[in-house]
Homo-oligomer: A and B are copies of this chain.
Amino acid sequence: MSSERISDAELTIMEILWERAPLTATDVAARLPDDRAWSLPTVKTLLSRLLSKAAVEHRADGRRFLYSPLIGREDYVAHESKRLMDRLFGGKFMPLFAHLAEQENLSAADISEIERLLREMKS
């Protein structure tokens, strides 16, 4: 849903709301990671952009707003993963897996974990 793309800075805000919601703008600002210590106005701008993209909603609480995500993290992750697969791997899973497997140099532990997942899936 809501095909508007969420930008990188906006994603930072979403991550905070996915971890804990509802939050006020000030709360969100307080939870920013250290490498993104934005000013409060910046956080408010991002929140209002997310509002207009229908990625979050807000509800009045006295004279401020409490923000909550409207898009679930799972949905977003699925969407972005699919986008990568479509853009770079012809939309197919196997080439993506092959690429990752080669690139990531899987450890023996990883391999057994994958095998376990596969067995689980078969049943």
Contacts and interface: CB of A to CB of B under 8 A. Distances in A.
Main secondary structure, interface of A, reads: helix
A11 B87 contact: yes
Contacts of A99: 77-78, 81
Contact of A121 (B85, B93, B101, B122): B101
B98 A117 contact: yes
Contacts of A84: 80-81, 84
Interface residues of A, number: 34
A81 B100 contact: yes
Interface stretch (A36-44, A64-72, A102-110): A102-110
Interface of A: 8, 11, 76-78, 80-82, 84-85, 87-89, 93-94, 96-101, 103-104, 106, 108, 110-111, 113-115, 117-118, 121-122
